[in-house]
Structure formats: C-alpha cells, structure tokens
Amino acid sequence: MPRVFEFDRAIVRAPARSVVDGLRADASAVPDYDGVVREHAAYVAALRAAGVTVEVLTPLEAFPDSVFVEDPALVFRDGAVLLRPGAPSRLGEREAMRPVLARHFETVLELGDGEYADGGDVLMTRDAAMIGLSARTNETGAEALAAALARLGRRARIVETPKSVLHFKTACSLLDERTVLATWAMAESGVFAGFEIVVVPDDEAAAANALRVNGVVLIGDRFPRTRDLLAKRGYAVVPLPVTEIGKLDAGLSCMSLRWKRGT
C-alpha cells in the first residue's frame, strides 16, 4: 500500500468567474478573480512538478465554491465517496462530480439525505481517517462516512473540531505518517495523541493547512516562519501564493482530489 501522502493522480476544477461570490466569513474580503486563477494555476503546476498527473475540470459558474473539489468527494485508489456538503449552496456540486468519479472509479459510494460531511473535515492518516465534526459535518454524516470508509477497507475516527475552526483541516495537516502540522488549539485538543505535533506560530495559524504531496510539502507563501520551521526539520517546502484563495476561507488541501492508482 502507498503511504497516505503518495499520489500520482489528481482532479481539480478551474475557478469560475463567480468564485468572487464564494462563501467566506468576512464578506468585505472580496477575492480578485484573476488572482484566484493565477494562484490555482500555480497550485496545479506544483502538483505536476511533484509527479502528479492532473485532470482540470471546466468551471461551474452556478457554484462559486466549486473550485474546492475536495469538499463534495473523497477518493482512494480502490473507490470514492460522494459526500454531501454542509453548506446548502454547495449541494449541487456533488451532482457535477458524480460522472467525474464514475469515469475513474468502479466503486462510488454516497451519503444520503441528512448525512452532511465535507471533505475538508477529513484527514487521512496511516491508521485511520479522522472525521472532524464541524458546522459543515454533522454526527449523522460523520457516522455514514465512517461506514462508507469501512466498505472501502478503511478505519475512521470521529473527533471534535475546535469551535472556532471552519473545517478540521483548516487547523491541521499531515507532514508524514507520524507527524502533523497544527495550530495550538488543535494541538491542545488531544485528537493527535501518539503523533508528533509541529505547532505553527500564532500569527501564522492559516499555515496549518499545508499539503504533503510525495516528497514535498506545499504551504502558503505568506507564512515564512512556518516555512523555515519545516525546512529546519528536513522537509522540502514549496511555497505557493494563497492570498486570494485565503479570502474564501480556503487553503491548499481543498483544491484537489488526490489518489495513487493501484498496481
């Protein structure tokens, strides 16, 4: 089995012009469309440079947040799960993702009515998928997702996301099979017992949403202290522009669906 951060395939969706109307906590922080496009292109280029073949889907103007493809689906080498995003405006994204998943996977499981779960609340580790309860992932959805993962031969743990955090992975990411990058709030929550925790500086909390892809760690270029912290620990760090994407309360992990094909 490949390690959980080893990938050779990914799906992304090009940002629609409507992305400027995407969900965000600060309505006054309006992203620049051209800036989002440039940041997304840099992200795709970084995935390809890391050895990943990337399929770029066409924009969905009806769904401003559809660039964040990880929220409506999860993918693995032996199957996929079509999720049910917790934000009502995003529910239609799963229908657009359905034929995409069907092209790549023989097994596509689905969550049902009332079972809400966002992919941004799911952190894959070596031993289990950690499913964080949040404003976008309810207990019913988490339990249904755990059952779906069991059908794909994967264990799951349902955990609490700190109340101030939008998505579980907003505040943490996997650096290797036994090390996570996290905010102080997430580190002190106790969910990562048994892991080594690298804590991001308080003024760089958003850096916790990094993305390990094969031999590199992608992080936002606005977080130099975190970059230096990881580099000193021996990680190959690739900084990427995230200023406009960050205005949409988003980060690096949510912009792609990643898996490694079976051999």
Tell me the per-residue pLDDT of 96-146, one tens digit each, with 9 for 90 and over: 999 999 999 999 999 999 999 999 999 999 999 999 999 999 999 999 999
pTM, two decimal places: 0.96
Domain chopping of the chain, boundaries: 9-259
CB atoms within 10 A of CB 136: 25
Cα–Cα distance for residue pair 176/213, rounded to 1 Å: 10
Catalytic residue set: 167, 254
Query: According to the model, what pLDDT value does residue 164 have?
Result: 82
| Overall fold of domain 9-259 | L-arginine/glycine Amidinotransferase; Chain A (3.75.10)
Cα–Cα distance for residue pair 221/240, rounded to 1 Å: 5
Q: Which tens digit of pLDDT belongs to each residue from 7-20?
A: 999 999 999 999 99
Cα–Cα distance for residue pair 256/50, rounded to 1 Å: 14
